Structure 1
Amino acid sequence: MLYTPLSIATSVGGGLLASALFRQIWKRVDEPDQPPPDPKDLERSTAKALSAAALQGLVFGLVRAAVDRAGAHGYRAVTHESPA
């Protein structure tokens, strides 16, 4: 029962971390002064819009898995029981 609020809090923090990480990576991939392309912005190329979406999905999935894994390890270290 204690794990659910912990999981929600770490998920929110992980989402903020993933968003910041994605923006930093995209600055190095594309022009640093432009934000990642919005899929509805037809002034930017389709390749850029789809590449940004794929990279964003990769970053969010990776950060989510890392945060969930770290939260589970932390929970087990404190309570000596598995959160699953």
Structure 2
Amino acid sequence: MRERQQLDDSIAGVKRLEQQMTDNIELIEMGEEEGDDSIVKEAEDNLKALKAESGRLQVEAMLSGEADGNDTYVEVHS
């Protein structure tokens, strides 16, 4: 049950990012048509933030294995 919830949350996060990306691309197109540089700039900034968020979600997905939720101690001797 817990794994299913994690998967549902991941899918919802990706869908949310996809919708926000689409919305911001449409805003850029509208801003360019209207010649409103402030809208274009704001939407571009939002897209940069979405890129960072997608990177965070990628790392989270890579670290979502069975043992990744466990505490870990690493000791390095060099």
The bucket for the TM-score relative to the shorter chain is 0.3 to 0.5
Q: Which has the higher contact order (CA 8 A, sep 6+)?
A: 1
TM superposition score normalised by structure 2: 0.45
TM superposition score normalised by structure 1: 0.43
